[in-house]
Structure 1
Amino acid sequence: MMAAPAFAVTRIQPPRRPPGWVARPRLQQRLLEAVQQQPVTLLCAAAGYGKTAALAQLIHELPPGTALAWVDADEDEQLPTFLACLCAALASLQLPWRVAPDALATLALADRGLREVASTLVNALAGADCPRGLIVLDDGHRIVDARVFELLQMLIERLPAQWGVVLASRTEPPLALARWRAADRLAEFRQADLQFDAGEVQALVQAAQPAGAAAAAAELADQARQLLQRTQGWAAGLRLSLSVGRQATQAGERLTQRHLFDFLATEVLAEMPPRLREFLLRSAVLPELTAERCARVTGMADAAELLDEVDRRGLFVSVLAAEQPTWRLHDLFRDFLEDRLRREQPAQWQDLLRSAAQDEPDLARAVGYLQRAGAWEAALGVLAQRGLALLATGGASSLLQMLAQFPPEQYARLPDLWLLRGLCAWPGYDFDQLRHCMHQAVAGYAEAGRERDAALASAHLSAALQHMGRFEEGTRILARLGRLQLDDAAMAFIHYGEACDAVVCGRPADVAANGARMLAALQRVPEPGLWQQCPLQVMMVGAPGTAAHSLRYGDAILQVAGHAPSPLRAGAWHARCWAALLAGRIDEAASALARADEDFRWLGSPRMIQTDNGMLHGLLQALRGEALASRAAGEALIEDIRRAASASFRRVHEPAMLFNQARAAWLLGDVALLREMDAAMRAVRHPAEWPSGVGAHAMVAAMLALAEDRIADGLQQLALLDARFDCYFLCAGVQAATLHAWALARSGRLDEAAARLQPLLQGPGDDERGAAVLAGVQVLDDLRAQPWQGRLAPPALARLDELLSRARRARAGAAHPAHLAGSAAPALAASVAPAAAEPVESPTPGPAAVAAPGAARPPALEQLTPREAQILALLAAGDSNKLIARALNLSVHTVKQHVASVLGKLGVASRGQAAAWWHARGK
C-alpha cells in the first residue's frame, strides 16, 4: 500500500481550460514554438496577467507524446516539498531512477548534495521515452528557499536535449538569465507579451454578451477600446470589468490591483447572494476547493451547488485536472476574500484554519494553518504525531523548517518543541545542537512536572554528553534514569544510552545486557520512528556477547521496517553484516552488505548509515584483497567527516575512521598507509576521546611496528591495551589479542602465545571471536604452522583451520585481484599476491551517469542476476513497474531498484533502449 503523499496532490495537476475560453493565437503560437525549441521559457509579469491561463492553453496544444510534469509552487516553497512534488509529477513517466525519488531531499543535505540531486534528475530525465518533455513550474515567486533555484540552475545547465523547463513567476527568478539570453537558450514572455491586444479584448467583450443579446459591432468595438485603454490589457482587470457589468467599465482611470480590490468589495462581493458570499469567505482559507473539503471546512452542506455557481459566474477561478472536480481561486481574489474574512470575522477565520488543518495530507500546510490561527499547541500536537515518521524517512530539514515558524515565547512554554529540534540533530550527528536542545527540554519538562518526558530528554542529553567527551556527566544522568519505571518507548532509549555509555567508558560486560534490554523494549513498541531514534548500533559491535545481539537486532528491524527501502532497513542489513563478520563468516557478511548497499544508494547515501557502510566496505574489501576499493572507502569516510560533519561528531569519531583505515591497511600489507594513519592518529588526539578508544593509538602503533618487523616494539604497544579496548569498534580487542598471540609466537614464546590464543578458539565460533579473521591470512597461516605440541587443544586447532580457510576463500573469491598501495614488509608480504591494479569501487557511489555509446566491455545477459533477467524480459514486453511487481510478487520499490540496476549494467539510458537491447538479441 502506497503512503499518502506529503503534499497536496492538486499541486501537480495542471489547470483545465474553462468554458468560454478566448483563443489568443498570437501568444499561443509564440509560446508553443518557444517551449518546443528552447531549454528555458520564462513567463514573468505581475499578478493577474494570465500566466497560468496561457500555460493551461499551452498544455492542450502540445504535440502528442510530449511528457509533462506540472508543479505549482506553494506558499513559502522549500526544497524538500519542491523535490517531492517534482518527483511525483514525473512518476507516470517511469523514469529509471538510480536513487529513490523520496530520498532526494535527504541527498540534498549532504556536502555537494544539490549537485548529486541534479545529476540524479538529469540521468532520470535522460531515460524518459519521449520525443519532448517539459517541466512546468507555476507561481515561482512563492519559492523562498534559495536552494530550489540553485538546483534549477544546475538542472537546466545539464538538461537532456529533449527536455525543457517552463517557469512562470511574478518576479524575476535568481537564475543565469543573462547568460542563457546571450546563448539563445532562453525564451521570455514579459508583461507586454502577455497583455491582451485590441482584437483579443474585442473577442472577450463579444463572448461576455448575454445570450440572445444583439449589440452593434460599433458599440462592441467602442466598449473594447475603452476597456483596453483603462486596463492596458491586464487580464485580471478585463475579467473583473466584464464580470461586474457596465458599472466597472465607467471608471475613468486605469485599473490597478488596489482598484481591483475595491471593485471586488463593492461590485462583486456586495452583489452576491448572501449564502454564496459567505461560502466564498469561508472557503478562502483553502488553496484548492473540492465539494467534499469545502463542505467539511465551511460546514455548508450545499458546497457542491455553490461551487457550480462560482464556476458559472467565472469568479477568478481555474479548474484543475484532478480526479474529482477541483477549483483554485486566483491569488488576488483569494487574498482579498481572506483579508475580508480576517477583518470581519476574526474568530471564525481562526476556526476555519483549524478545520482546514484536519486530514490535510501536506504536513507543512496542516501545521501552517494552525500556526496562522495561533493554535500553537495544536500545531505542536500535529508535529509530535507525524514528525517522528518524517524523521524516519530523512525529513529532518523539513521538520526543522516547520519548527522555525514557532515564536520564541512558544519554546519557553512548550518543551516538546525543544525535544523535536533535538531529535532533528541526530541524523546529522550534531551533538552540540543535541545537547543544547535536550538541556532546554529537560528544564521545561521538569518545570511542567512531566517526569517521563524529562527522563527521555535526559537520556538524549546523556548521549550528547558522551559524544562530546563529557563522560562523567553522561554516566551520572543514566545512573539516575536506570532506576525509573517508565513506558517501553522511554526505556528503550534509556537502555540504548546505557549500552552506549558502557561502550564509551569501556565496560565490556555491560554492553550486551543493556543492548538486549533496549531490543526487548523496542520490540514491544514496533514503531519505525522510535527504532530510528536508537542509531549508531556500530558502537555496540564487538563487545562480548554482541554478535548474537546484532543478529537479533537486524532480524527485528526487518520485521518493523517492511519491504520499502529506508535507513532503518539498511541498518538491518548492516547489523546482519556485522554479526556475520564477527563470527568470521566473510561470504555471508559480503552478501548482507550488498543488500545494504542497494538501500544505501537508493536512499541517497544518508549520513545516518554512511559510517557503518563505509567501515564495513573498508574491512570487507581489505579481507578480499581489493586494495584500491578498500582505500577509497576509508578515504571517503575520512574526507566526509573532515569536510562535512559537525564539529562534535568529528571530535569523537575521526579517530575511529582513521583506526578503521589502519586495520584495512594491515590486512592489505600497505605499510605506507599504516604510517600515514599512525601519524594521523597522533595528530587528532584530544582529551575528549572515549576511554575505550584510547587504546586505538597503541593498536595502530603496534600494527605498524609488526608490519615493519619490529616485533618487540609491537609487543610493547599491545601490552598497553586493557579490557576497555574490547568495547571499541568491531571487535578490535579480538584482533588485538590475535596479533598479540602471533607476535609472541614469532618471538618464540609459544606458551604465552597459546594462553593468549586459546580463549579465542573455544566454542563453535558463532560469537564475536570469529573476528580473529581480521588479523589477516598470513597471521592465521603463521599461527597454524607453529609447533604447538599440545599447547592448543585439538578443537582450538580445528577452529583455527576453519578461520584460516574462510580468510583464504575470501581472498580467492574476490572480484578483483589485490593491488598493493605501498611496499609490504616481510612479515606481511606473503599474505598478498602481486597482481594488476583493480578499478576503484566507490563505497558511496553517486548517481550513475548515463553510459556513453561504445562504452568499454559490451553488455551481456550474463551480467544480470536471474531476477534482473526476468524483469528485463517483462520490461521488454511493455509491462509497467506495477505490472512487473504484480507478476513477480515484489514491491514496486524493489522493481524500481532492479530496473535501475539493469539499465546501469546494460549501459543504456531508458526502458525503451533496454527493450531494444533485449529484442536485438532475439529474446
Structure 2
Amino acid sequence: MRSTVELPDFAQAKIRPPQLRTHLVARPGLEQALLAALPRHRLTLLVAPAGYGKTAALARMLCHWPAEAALAWITADEDDHLQRLLACLTAALEPLDLPWRVAPEALGTLAQADGGLRGVANELINALASAEVAQGLIVIDDAHSISDPRVFALLQAVLDHLPEHWSVAIASRVDPPLSLARWRVSGELAEFRRTELRFNAQETAALSVSMGLGDMDAQLAELLTLTEGWAVGLRLGLSAQANARGGGSSARDVRACSGTAHRHLFDYLASEVLDDMPDDLCHFLLRCSVLPELSAERCAHVSQLPQAAYWLEEVERRGLFVTVLDSEDLTLRLHDLFRDFLESRLQRDHADQVPALLCRAAEHEPDLTRAVGYLLRAGDWDQATRRLVESGPELIARGGAPALDQMLDQFPGGELAARPDLHLLRGMAAFPRFDFDMMSTEMLQGAEGLAQAGRASEVPLAQAFATLGMMSSGQVEAAAVMLARLVLQPLPPDQQALVRYACAWCAFAQGRSDDVAPHLVAMVEGLERCADVQVGNGCFFLSMLAGFPGARPALIRFADCALRLSGDQPSQLRAGAWHLRTWLALEVGDLAAALQHLTRADEDVHWLGRPRSLMTESWMSHTLLDALRGDAAACHAAAHENARDMTEHSLAANRLTHEHAVLFAHVRGCWILGDMVALRSAAALLARTGNVYEWAYAESERQMGRAMVALADGDLALAHKLLQPLAAGAEGSVYFVTTQLRLMLADVAWRLGRHDEAAAILRPWCAQALGGGEVGGALMVGSEALQRLAAVDWGTHLGPGGTALLQQLAQRLSGAAQPLAPDGLPLESVGGAVAYPGAGHWRRCADDPTSVLTEREREVLARIAAGDSNKLIARRFDLSPHTVKRHVANILGKLDVTTRGQAAACWRGLPTDQGKGPLQR
C-alpha cells in the first residue's frame, strides 16, 4: 500500500495556453475590445454556446498581451474539483516564483479546515499581491465544465479582494455562479456574449477566403443569416459549400438543418467533413478521440498508427476543430463539440474497440484522475485498482483524500466491495478528516477481504489501522482484544511499528500506564529497521505520551528517527516530531527550547495547510504553552478553536471519546494563567461530559477540574479531598498531569498546616526529578503555588537539592510571565524588532535583520538578491524546488516582508516597507 511513483495532480496540458493558429481569421475589433477590457476590469466574462470562438478570441488577444505581463491559463474539464483546480492554478503561476506562505500543494488541505476557503483565498491573494509584475491575468477556459460549487465560492472570495494589478478572464457556455450583478453595477465586469462574439459579414468573407473558396457573396450572406454568426457553424457550412462543388452536400442541406439545435447542425456538418477525409485520417481521429489532448507519442500508442505525427500535422493543416497548445512538441486539443461527435461515431461504428483504446490511453497517462477514469470507462476494474493502490497513499499524504474518494465512488458497488485494497484506501482517506468510524469499518472489511484472497501477511497492517479507528470511536476493549492477538505474531518491521504504536495508545486508553513504554520501544525498533517515511507517517502522533513512565528514551529515538527520515521536507511526520520535541523539552523544564520546537512545528503545520491530523496536537500544545508564557489571548484562542473543531467538524464517536481531553486542556491553561472566571466556565463544560465511550482517565480529569474550582473558591478542604486520590496514582493523563497534581496537593496540604504531609508528597518527586525524572508538570502548578512552595524552608525534608529545584522552577516560571524569545529572555530585554510568523517567536537584530536566518536561508537570500529564480537556486544548492519555496517562506516570515524584492533589499541593507505584512491574514 505504498506509492511507487509520485504523480502530478493533473495533465500539464491543462495549463498550456493555446498558440495562435495561422489560419485563424483576424478579428481586430473583438481583439482590441478584449485587450482594452482585461486590465480595466476585475472580471472579463466570455459567455456563449459551444463553437462561438471564445478560446480563439482569447488566443488572438494573447498575441497582444504585454510580454512582461504575467499569465496563468487553465483549461477546466469535468474531472476538476477544488483541489485539482488549485493544483492547476498554482502550477500555472509557478514561473512567477510567488512567495507562498503555505505549500501550494497544501492549499487543498487548507480548504478542508474550518473557514478553509477563506484561508485559501487569503493565501492566493497575498501571493498574487506579492508578485513583482506590473500586470497579471488568470484565464479559466471552459469554466462550464466545473461542477464543484466550492471552486466558484473560492473564485468569489478571491475576486472580491483581487489585487489591482491582477484580473481574471472566464470563458464559459453559461454564466458562472458569481456576483455578476454587483460587479456589473460597479463597472468591474466586462462581458462578451453571443452578440459580441458572433462573426460579422467582413469576418465571414475573410474566413471564406482563408478556406480558399473565393468570391461567393450571396452564399455567404445566406450562410451568415442561417448560422447567426456562429463561428463553428460558419466553418462547417463553408466546408459543406466546398463539398457541394465536388458533388457533396449543398447549401440547401445546410439550410434544412439550420432550424434544429446548434448541436444537431454541428453533427450533420461534421459528418460531411469526416466523410470527406482520407480513410486513414478518419481512422486516426476516431481512435484518438478518447484523448483530450493529442500528441504524436500518445496518439501513436493509442491508435497503433506509426504515422501519428504526420496525421497530427494534417489535422492542423486542414484547420479542423482543434486548439494548438503552447508546447515543444505539436499538441492539439480537440474542440468539445468535435470530440463528442467523434466519440459518438466511434461508439456507433467501432464499439468493440473502445475498451482497448481507453486502456491504452491510461497506460501512459500521468494524470491519475484521468487514468483511472479511462480504466473505469473501459470496465478494467483490476487495472484501475492497481493504479490507485500504487498512488493512493502518496495522494493522501499530499492532501488528496477528497480526490481519492471521488475516484473510489466511480466504482460499481459490487466491484468496490469485492476489492480489499480499495477498502484499505478508503480507510486511509478517512483518517485526515478524523472519520474514525469509516476508518475502522473499511479497514476491517479490507482485512477480511485480504484473508479471503489468501493475502494473510497483509492482514495485520489493516487490522492495526482498524484498531486506531476503533479506539478513537470508543471501541477500546474490542481494539485491545485484536491487538493482543497481533502482538503475538512475528511481524515485519513496518507492521511491527504500527501494531506497537496502536498498542501504546491502547494501553494509555485503558489506564495501563506502565505498559506504554515497552510498546513504544518495540515501535521505534520497527521504524528504525524499515526506515520508511510512510510508516513513520502512520505513527506521528506521540507528543501526548511524553512523561509516561520509562517512555522518554524511546520517544527521543523516535523524534530523531522521524527527523532523519523527513529531512528538510515539511511533512506530517516532521511536524509530529517537532511537537514531540516540544514536550520532551518541557519534560525537563526547558520552556525556552519547548517554544522553539513548537515554532518549528507551527511552521510545518502552516506550510502543510493546517491538516486536522496535526491541528489537535497544535491546539493542545498552544493552550498550555501559551498559558505558561503568559499569553492569555493565545491560550484561549487555541482552546476555543480546538473545541469548535471538536463540536462542529468531528463526528459523534470522536467527540464522545475525546471531547473531555480538549476541555481539560483549557481548564489547565486557565489555572496556569490564574484566570478563575474562565476556569469556572471551562470546568463547567468539562463537568457536563461523561459517557461510556470515554477513555479511562476522563473521570480523573473532571475530578481535577472540580478541585481547581474548589481552590478558586477558597475551599482548601474540598480541594484536598479531591486531589489526594488522584495524586497517588501513576501518570494517567496527558502532559504531566500527575506531577501537577502532586505539587498542587503539596501546596494545599501546606496551606492547611499539614506540613509533614506536604513534605512527604514532595520528597519522592524531588528525588525522582533530581535523578533525571520529569519536572515539566511542576511548571503547570502555576506561578503563585510554585512560588509558595519555593519560599518554604524545607530544611532536610526534601533531601539534597530539593528546595533549590523548587526555587529554580519558580524562577523559570516567573520569567515566563512575559512572552519569551527562543533563548529564554523576555522579549522586552532583547534589542531590535521582534517578528511573529504564525505562532513563532523570532528575534531580529536592529543592525542586521538577516541575523535571524539560518545559514542556508542566508545563502538562498543572497541568490534572491542576485536575481536568481527558484529553479536556479534549487540547481545551485542541489535542493528540490519545493524546499526552495519553503526557505523563501521562512525568509519572508522572519524578515517580516511580503515580496522577494523587499527581502533582497534587506540583504543589501536598503530600506524596506517592513512591518506592513500581507494584505489578508
TM over 0.5: same fold?
Answer: yes
Q: Deviations over 1:826-860 (max 9, x none)?
A: xxxxxxx9xxxxx9989779xxxxxxxxxxx9998
Q: 1:118 aligns with which of 116, 121, 138?
A: 121
1:781 is displaced (CA, Å) by: 3.9
1:787-798 paired onto structure 2 within 5 Å: 787-794=793-800, 796-797=802-803
Q: 1:229 aligns with which of 225, 229, 235?
A: 225
Is 2:263 aligned against 1:260? Answer: no
Change (3 A) 1:842 1:627: farther
- Give the aligned residue type for 1:198: A
Is 2:618 aligned against 1:629? Answer: no
Q: Deviations over 1:43-90 (max 9, x none)?
A: 111111111111111111113422111001022320000000011111
Task: Report what 1:382 is aligned to.
Answer: 387
Task: Report what 2:281 is aligned to.
Answer: 276
Task: Report what 1:462 is aligned to.
Answer: 467
1:201-350 paired onto structure 2 within 5 Å: 201-209=204-212, 215=214, 219-243=215-239, 245-247=242-244, 248-250=249-251, 251-253=253-255, 254-255=257-258, 256-265=262-271, 267-350=272-355
Change (3 A) 1:696 1:416: same
Q: 2:85 aligns with which of 75, 82, 87?
A: 82
Change (3 A) 1:627 1:722: closer
Change (3 A) 1:306 1:85: same
Q: After superposing the two structures, state which structure 1 stretch, 13-22 or 886-895, moved more.
A: 886-895
Native 8 Å contact 1:725 1:733 kept in 2: yes
Is 2:568 aligned against 1:559? Answer: no
1:664-679 paired onto structure 2 within 5 Å: 664-679=669-684
Task: Report what 2:412 is aligned to.
Answer: 407
Is 2:704 aligned against 1:717? Answer: no
1:91 is displaced (CA, Å) by: 1.3
Is 2:640 aligned against 1:660? Answer: no
Task: Report what 1:880 is aligned to.
Answer: 869
Task: Report what 1:773 is aligned to.
Answer: 779
Native 8 Å contact 1:205 1:242 kept in 2: yes
1:663 is displaced (CA, Å) by: 1.6
1:223 is displaced (CA, Å) by: 4.0
Is 2:385 aligned against 1:398? Answer: no
**Any idea what SS the aligned residue of 2:229 has?**
coil
What is the CA–CA distance in structure 2 between the aligned matches of 1:551 and 1:83, rounded to whole Å?
Answer: 38
Q: After superposing the two structures, state which structure 1 stretch, 883-892 or 103-112, moved more.
A: 883-892
1:812 is displaced (CA, Å) by: 6.2
What is the CA–CA distance in structure 1 between the aligned matches of 2:837 and 2:198, rounded to whole Å?
Answer: 54
What is the CA–CA distance in structure 1 between the aligned matches of 2:728 and 2:374, rounded to whole Å?
Answer: 57
What is the CA–CA distance in structure 1 between the aligned matches of 2:774 and 2:288, rounded to whole Å?
Answer: 64
1:763 is displaced (CA, Å) by: 6.2
What is the CA–CA distance in structure 1 between the aligned matches of 2:225 and 2:344, rounded to whole Å?
Answer: 29
**Any idea what SS the aligned residue of 1:135 has?**
strand
What is the CA–CA distance in structure 2 between the aligned matches of 1:765 and 1:634, rounded to whole Å?
Answer: 34
- Give the aligned residue type for 1:240: L
Q: After superposing the two structures, state which structure 1 stretch, 756-765 or 71-80, moved more.
A: 756-765
- Give the aligned residue type for 2:130: G
Task: Report what 2:17 is aligned to.
Answer: 14
1:356 is displaced (CA, Å) by: 1.7
1:513 is displaced (CA, Å) by: 1.4
What is the CA–CA distance in structure 2 between the aligned matches of 1:455 and 1:446, rounded to whole Å?
Answer: 10
Change (3 A) 1:436 1:264: same
- Give the aligned residue type for 1:727: G
1:26-65 paired onto structure 2 within 5 Å: 26-65=29-68
What is the CA–CA distance in structure 2 between the aligned matches of 1:95 and 1:290, rounded to whole Å?
Answer: 31
Change (3 A) 1:910 1:448: same
What is the CA–CA distance in structure 2 between the aligned matches of 1:143 and 1:37, rounded to whole Å?
Answer: 26
What is the CA–CA distance in structure 2 between the aligned matches of 1:872 and 1:486, rounded to whole Å?
Answer: 48
TM-score normalised per structure 1: 0.89
Q: 1:187 aligns with which of 187, 190, 193?
A: 190
Q: After superposing the two structures, state which structure 1 stretch, 618-627 or 690-699, moved more.
A: 618-627
1:519-668 paired onto structure 2 within 5 Å: 519-668=524-673
Change (3 A) 1:922 1:840: closer
1:775 is displaced (CA, Å) by: 2.5
Native 8 Å contact 2:631 2:819 kept in 1: no
**Any idea what SS the aligned residue of 2:719 has?**
helix
Q: Deviations over 1:400-439 (max 9, x none)?
A: 1111111212222123322222222211212233243334
What is the CA–CA distance in structure 1 between the aligned matches of 2:492 and 2:348, rounded to whole Å?
Answer: 47
Is 2:354 aligned against 1:365? Answer: no
Native 8 Å contact 2:770 2:801 kept in 1: no
What is the CA–CA distance in structure 2 between the aligned matches of 1:289 and 1:801, rounded to whole Å?
Answer: 75
- Give the aligned residue type for 1:423: M
Change (3 A) 1:859 1:133: farther
- Give the aligned residue type for 1:567: Q
1:875 is displaced (CA, Å) by: 3.3
What is the CA–CA distance in structure 2 between the aligned matches of 1:353 and 1:107, rounded to whole Å?
Answer: 34
Change (3 A) 1:566 1:521: same
Native 8 Å contact 1:141 1:171 kept in 2: yes
1:910 is displaced (CA, Å) by: 3.2
Task: Report what 1:852 is aligned to.
Answer: none
| Gap regions ≥5 residues in structure 2 | 829-833, 913-921
1:474-553 paired onto structure 2 within 5 Å: 474-553=479-558
1:769 is displaced (CA, Å) by: 4.5
1:682-697 paired onto structure 2 within 5 Å: 682-697=687-702
Native 8 Å contact 2:835 2:894 kept in 1: no
Change (3 A) 1:539 1:917: closer
- Give the aligned residue type for 1:231: T
TM-score normalised per structure 2: 0.89
**Any idea what SS the aligned residue of 1:691 has?**
coil
Q: After superposing the two structures, state which structure 1 stretch, 148-157 or 708-717, moved more.
A: 708-717
What is the CA–CA distance in structure 2 between the aligned matches of 1:588 and 1:916, rounded to whole Å?
Answer: 31
Native 8 Å contact 1:563 1:891 kept in 2: no
Change (3 A) 1:724 1:186: farther
Q: 1:814 aligns with which of 816, 820, 837?
A: 820
1:688 is displaced (CA, Å) by: 2.0
Change (3 A) 1:292 1:693: same
Native 8 Å contact 1:859 1:905 kept in 2: no
- Give the aligned residue type for 1:78: H
1:872 is displaced (CA, Å) by: 5.1
Task: Report what 1:158 is aligned to.
Answer: 161
Native 8 Å contact 1:506 1:725 kept in 2: no
The percentage of counterpart residues that share the same residue type is 45
Instruction: Count residues in correspondence.
Output: 886
What is the CA–CA distance in structure 1 between the aligned matches of 2:386 and 2:371, rounded to whole Å?
Answer: 11
Task: Report what 1:865 is aligned to.
Answer: 852
Q: 1:356 aligns with which of 361, 367, 380?
A: 361
Native 8 Å contact 1:547 1:767 kept in 2: no
1:869 is displaced (CA, Å) by: 6.5
What is the CA–CA distance in structure 2 between the aligned matches of 1:723 and 1:391, rounded to whole Å?
Answer: 44
Change (3 A) 1:272 1:642: same
1:117 is displaced (CA, Å) by: 1.0
**Any idea what SS the aligned residue of 2:432 has?**
coil
Change (3 A) 1:875 1:734: same
Change (3 A) 1:201 1:735: same
- Give the aligned residue type for 1:390: L
What is the CA–CA distance in structure 2 between the aligned matches of 1:3 and 1:302, rounded to whole Å?
Answer: 31
What is the CA–CA distance in structure 2 between the aligned matches of 1:904 and 1:480, rounded to whole Å?
Answer: 50
What is the CA–CA distance in structure 1 between the aligned matches of 2:742 and 2:875, rounded to whole Å?
Answer: 52
Native 8 Å contact 1:284 1:337 kept in 2: yes
**Any idea what SS the aligned residue of 1:289 has?**
strand
Native 8 Å contact 1:547 1:768 kept in 2: no
What is the CA–CA distance in structure 1 between the aligned matches of 2:158 and 2:143, rounded to whole Å?
Answer: 16
Q: 1:422 aligns with which of 423, 427, 443?
A: 427
Task: Report what 1:821 is aligned to.
Answer: none
- Give the aligned residue type for 2:123: T
